[in-house]
Chain A
Amino acid sequence: MSTLWTQLEPLLSKVQKPARYIGCEDGSLHPQPRAGQVGWLMTYPDTYEIGLPNQGLQILYEILNERDDAWAERSYAPWVDLEDELRRAGLPLFSVDTHRPAAEFDIIAFNLSAELVYTNVLNCVDLAGVPVRAADRRPEHPLIAIGGHCTYNPEPISDFVDLVVLGDGEEVVGEITDIVREWKASGRTEGSREQVLRALSQVPGVYVPSLYEAEFDGDRLVGIFPRYSDVPEVVEKRTITDLADWPYPKNQLVPLTEVVHDRLNVEVFRGCTRGCRFCQAGMITRPVRERPAEQVRNMVSNGLRRTGYDEVALTSLSTADFSGIERVVADTVNDPANCGQVSVSLPSLRVDAFTVGIAAEIQKARRTGLTFAPEAGTWRMRQVINKLIRNEDLYGAVESAYSQGWRRMKLYFLTGLPTETDEDTLGIAELANHCVELGRAHHKNPSVTVSVGGFVPKPFTPFQWFGQNTVPELYRKVGLLRDATRKSRGVQLKWHDPKATLIEGIMSRGDRRLGPVIEEVWRKGGTFQEWSEFFDHGLWVETMAAHGLSVEWYVYRHRTEDEALPWDHLSAGLHRDFLWQDWRDALDQVGLEDCRWTPCYDCGACTGYGVEHVVASAVPPAGGSQGTGQDLSAGDSVPVTIGGVRSSIGASTSTAGVGTS
């Protein structure tokens, strides 16, 4: 086996944080590949600190290594100092497990969770010694694959990738392995790369961009069509039906150096049906699939014992909604084996007193800060985005938190939302100011940090037709908030750079014509664009202009109902007319209840794939559920009180209709 360690070692003495590159994590594997096995390099196109905890990557790493016909290692984008050293020494991108050159793998698979990492993908491919454009690759080159949330519009980077995986990866990686194994066995002869890609395009959930033609009429996209009749017109995402079948990661990696989320992470459910209209993650991961509470408990207790962590996070898009939440938390906190030293964290707190109660249960000692995400400043605005939190809900949660000892609140908001008025924007400051007031009854110096992000419309959400706010408009709104909070002691305002929001917007809903822009920005050194010290807004804007592309057209323009969208040939199961209706409802300020506990709206996520929600409880969690419009104190029945009642197809929660869409 070939390892670059001896060549890398002297370079590591010259760079910052060399521990990023040594591997050796508890749980890491040292595969000894045999002939014919398919090698996967699971790559995160950002730093080790951010990439290591990525659960998707770790899950697939384990699943692949359990197979007889595959092996997998991991790689992360080297920081700029090591990249310089590697290029100077003529060394390639490498795996951290055995320090093997990236080009020795059959597939380099990237996890893409943010748009600004695209140039890092190109950089990693180039560092691997692989041509950055898919069209220039030869049979001996690895296949470049991408997965993760950004793949729901992969068009901007479609020139650079061979295959795109939509949805849950657990099953599909095996199917891809089968095909690539055959390809290897056949000797990867001249011309065989096209054949293997053609074969891969037949796997449900796999999109091969080179087999599709994007047709334009002037500026206007006509559509993206398969070049061959056997290539599917629409690629559907993959969905695993039951999380209980996939208790991964079984051996979560324990890094030797500091990373984000450095704790045990146990995924308690996947999917979300609250229907927040800005939230792509919620839309594309439907339906809800809960892990059985018993399995969660086992994963927690085994994981803690194996790793030695003193913190476990129960992860999902809204963990307080997990039916088994109270018992799992109580069991973990009270487990004598944990000696009272283990803390539980809920990364996504729901805004209500029930959730604060759970937080109180688990944070007996360190009550420093709590985070809530009301997302918008007024009830009107929250109806538009379908995040149905009343001001009283937030105040109740904050009051309850202050009275139980927390001093610092962090509130997350979006600005630049559809129909947003200055009154809505200023509502953010009002909420924050009121929260500090509530805190003063309990503490001398309560503080509220308000974090404001500019809204970027995402594919497969009801807001995919909305024209994003301009950079000056976002600056103006931030300015309004700055003025409105300047005098309030205790309120701190933070905001995401509107210029970065703009570039995210270009990628979010862009099309194939952006390929040359991304390539040029990369060639001019524009890597690590997620990092403010490297983010180069001017470079992007100039490059767009140089290629004759209009930021206005890509980002600020509202789309019409009949406009072809660059992701129309991909599907997350959601019917386009469901999304369009939801968009109209948003403009009418009509809310939509959570379909977990109310009738199905036939959005398509279950009905289209013949799957259902897997929830242990037929009623919403105790304490209530925003979005159901129910009485928060009762936590029981689900009266339909909010907005127009939508006629729905299923009378009860999705009776698995077989796929017609």
Chain B
Amino acid sequence: MRVRIRFTKVGKVRFLGHRDLARIWERTLRRAELSVAYSEGFSPRPKLSFGLALSTGYESDGEYLDVELASTAEPPQLAALPGRLSALLPEGIDATAACEVSRSEPSLQQAVTSCSWLIDVVDVTVAEATDAVDRALAATELMLTRERKGKQVTDDLRPYLLDLSVTGPTPTGARLLAELGTQPRTLRPSELLAALDPPLDEGLVRRTHQWTTDDGARRELIPLDATSAQHDGERAS
């Protein structure tokens, strides 16, 4: 059975890296006494897969994790699972939903088509930020040169910029709301800010949603209205 879990990463734990998070989840699942399936081979690892990595320092309301449970395991009570896990997780990491996904569904990496972000920019006025945003939206291309695998690569980011607006001022600058594409590769908020004209300085960044596309319609990976209880009910019937 494959269980998909949504969780947060806010506050001090935003400074944890991706590997840190993986270790925390491994320990938490053991403490919750969920029988996770292990890989075969020389050094067996629990079968966990995370979605798109979140940069160290960013916060998130919507991180995802797929857990492969051992075939022999008792199916867990999905409705109770988020609460049970949250009690064992560090402050700032809370499981907010869980549901079963069939093994035939694409992996998290493949399923996510875009992410929504709240991006604070600092040392800038709302008007200045709005100008930069408008220029970006009006542009036909947004070129950025980055180092990838040791090579200088110049790409056009514009196709990945699905939506961008200024939501208002913050004590140190302005807040942007962005939807950035993730296929075939991911556009990161820091890359977007660097490509703006003029480039803006990044403050706190929070991922709010990870979206997938169903027959052309955008929806949250675990549908926001689909409570885990319903899923649980379905399976029990």
Real binding pair = yes
Interface string of B20-58 (1 = CB under 8 A from A): 100110111111000100100011100000000000110
In the complex, what residues of A have CB within 8 A of residue B28's CB?
308
Identify A256's interface contact among B24, B31, B35, CB under 8 A. B24
B57 x A13 contact (CB < 8 A): yes
A173 to B92 Cα, complex, angstroms: 34
Interface residue ranges of A13-40 to B (CB < 8 Å): 13, 18-19, 21-26
Query: Mask for B151-172, Cβ within 8 A of A = 1, else 0?
Result: 0000000000000000000000
| CB-based contact B90/A12 at 8 Å | no
Q: Indicate if A395 sits at the interface (CB-CB under 8 A).
A: no
B45 CB, min distance to chain A CBs, angstroms: 10
Cβ of A26 and Cβ of B90 under 8 Å apart?
yes
Q: How far is the CA of A303 from the CA of B43 in the complex (A)?
A: 23
Q: Are A257 and B20 in contact (CB under 8 A)?
A: yes
Closest to B122 in A: A10
Among A5, A21, A22, A307, the residue within 8 A (CB) of B27 is A307
Decide yes or no: A256 and B38 within 8 Å by CB, A18-B15, A309-B27 being known contacts: no
Does B91 reach chain A (CB closer than 8 Å)?
yes
Please give, as numbers and ranges, the residues of chain A lying within 8 Å of B88 by CB-CB distance: 308
A306 adjacent to chain B (CB < 8 Å): yes
Question: In chain B, what residue has the closest Cβ to A15?
Answer: B15
**C-alpha gap A22/B91 in the complex (Å):** 11
| Interface residue A310 (Cβ < 8 Å from any Cβ of B) | yes
Determine how close the nearest CB of chain A comes to the CB of B38; give it in whole angstroms. 7
Most B CB contacts (10 A, CB to CB) among A21, A22, A254, A256 go to: A256
Given A258-B23, A308-B30, CB of A18 within 8 Å of CB of B35: no
Asked if A305 is at the interface (CB within 8 A of a chain B CB), the reply is yes
Residue A366, interface by CB 8 Å? yes
**Once the chains bind, are A18 and B56 in contact (CB under 8 Å)?**
yes
B196 to chain A, nearest CB (A): 19
A308, B26: Cβ atoms closer than 8 Å: yes
CB distance from B109 to the nearest CB of A (A): 24
A365 contacts partner chain B, Cβ-Cβ < 8 Å = yes
Kindly report which residue of chain A lies nearest to residue B20, judged by CB atoms: A257
With A18-B57, A365-B44 already in contact, the answer to whether A308 and B27 are too (CB < 8 A) is yes
Name B90's closest neighbour in chain A (CB-CB). A24
Complex interface bits, A222-245 against B, C-beta within 8 A gives 1, otherwise 0: 000000000000000000000000
In the complex with contacts A257-B20, A339-B35, A341-B38, A24-B13 CB distance below 8 A:
yes
Q: Evaluate contact between A365 and B91: CB separation under 8 angstroms.
A: no
Interface size of B by CB at 8 A reads 26
Given contact pairs A13-B57, A366-B42, A19 touches B16 in the complex (Cβ within 8 A): yes
Chain A residues with CB below 8 A from B44, complex form: 341, 365
**Closest residue of B by beta carbon distance from A309:** B27
Query: CA of A305 to CA of B43 in the docked complex: distance in angstroms?
Result: 22
- Tally A-B pairs: CB < 8 A: 61
Residues of A296-316 at the interface with B, using a CB-CB cut-off of 8 Å, are: 305-310
* CB of B19 within 8 Å of the partner chain: yes
Q: Could you say which of A19, A254, A310 has the most chain B C-beta atoms within 10 Å of its C-beta?
A: A19
Query: Which of A24, A262, A309 has the most chain B CB atoms inside 10 A of its CB?
Result: A24
Docked Cα-Cα span, A112 to B23, in Å, equals: 29
Give, as a whole number of angstroms, the nearest-CB distance from A291 to chain B: 25
Are B30 and A310 in contact, CB atoms less than 8 angstroms apart?
A: yes
Q: CB-CB contacts of A1-15 with B at 8 A, as 1s and 0s?
A: 000010000001100
Which A residues are in CB contact (< 8 Å) with B235? none
Question: Which A residue sits closest to B27, measured CB to CB?
Answer: A308
Interface set, chain A 264-314, CB cutoff 8 A to B: 305-310
Interface pair B31/A306, CB less than 8 Å apart: yes
Bound-complex Cα distance A530 to B219 (A) = 53
Contacts of A365 in B (CB 8 A): 42-44
In the bound complex, what is the Cα–Cα distance between A536 and B42 (angstroms)? Answer: 42
Chain A: minimal CB distance from B180 (Å): 20
Task: Say yes or no: A24 contacts B31, CB within 8 Å.
Answer: no
A158 to chain B, nearest CB (A): 38
Minimum distance in angstroms from B20 CB to a CB of chain A: 5
The chain A residue sitting closest to B16, CB to CB, is A19
Residue of A nearest to B172 (CB): A10
B12 beta carbon closer than 8 Å to chain A:
yes
Q: B26: which A residues are within 8 A, CB to CB? A: 308, 310
- For B31, list chain A residues within 8 Å (CB): 305-308
Does chain A have a CB within 8 A of B199? no
B56 A24 Cβ-Cβ under 8 A: no
Q: Chain B residues near A262 (CB, 8 Å)?
A: 23
Is B17 part of the contact surface with A, judged by Cβ < 8 Å?
Answer: yes
Q: Are the CB atoms of B91 and A24 closer together than 8 Å? A: yes
Contacts of A19 in B (CB 8 A): 15-17, 20, 56
- The chain B residue with its CB closest to the CB of A5 is B12
Q: Is the CB of B20 within 8 A of A254?
A: no
Which of A22, A310, A366 meets B13, CB within 8 Å? A22
Residues of chain B within 8 A of A256, CB atoms compared = 13, 16, 20, 24, 90
User: Is B20 a contact partner of A258 (Cβ separation < 8 A)?
Assistant: yes
Which residue of B is nearest A337, CB measured? Answer: B33
CA distance A5 to B16 in the complex (A): 16
With most chain A CB atoms within 10 A of its CB, the pick from B12, B13, B57 is: B12
A5: chain B residues at CB < 8 Å are 12
Q: Give every chain A residue within 8 A of B16 (Cβ-Cβ).
A: 19, 22, 256-257
Q: Please, what's the 1-or-0 string for A180-197, where 1 marks a CB less than 8 Å from any CB in chain B?
A: 000000000000000000
Specify which of B28, B56, B90, B92 lies most central, judged by the most chain A CB atoms within 10 Å of its CB.
Answer: B90
> B30 contacts A257, CB within 8 Å?
no
In the complex, what residues of A have CB within 8 A of residue B13's CB?
22, 24, 256
- B15:A12 contact, CB within 8 angstroms: yes
Q: How far is the CA of A21 from the CA of B14 in the complex (A)?
A: 12
Tell me the bound Cα distance from A22 to B17 in angstroms.
12
Residues A366 and B30 in contact in the complex (CB < 8 Å), given A24-B90, A257-B20:
no
CB distance from B120 to the nearest CB of A (A): 12
* Contact residues in A for B30 (Cβ distance below 8 Å): 308, 310, 341
Write the chain A residue with the least CB distance to B35: A339
A310 to B31, CA, bound (A): 10
Smallest beta-carbon distance A322→chain B, Å:
26
* CB-CB under 8 A for A254 and B27, given A19-B17, A22-B12, A24-B12: yes
Q: Enumerate the 3 nearest inter-chain pairs by beta-carbon distance, A residue then B residue, closest first.
A: A308-B27, A18-B15, A308-B31
Q: What is A's interface to B at a CB cutoff of 8 Å?
A: 5, 12-13, 18-19, 21-26, 254, 256-258, 262, 305-310, 339, 341, 365-366
Subset of 22 A-B contacts with CB under 8 Å: A12-B57, A18-B56, A19-B16, A19-B20, A22-B12, A23-B12, A24-B90, A24-B92, A25-B90, A26-B90, A256-B16, A256-B24, A262-B23, A308-B28, A308-B29, A308-B30, A309-B27, A310-B26, A310-B30, A339-B35, A365-B42, A365-B44
Known: A19-B56, A256-B24, A339-B35. 18 other contacts (CB 8 A): A13-B57, A19-B15, A22-B13, A22-B15, A22-B16, A24-B91, A25-B90, A256-B13, A256-B20, A256-B90, A257-B17, A258-B20, A305-B31, A307-B27, A308-B26, A308-B30, A341-B38, A365-B42
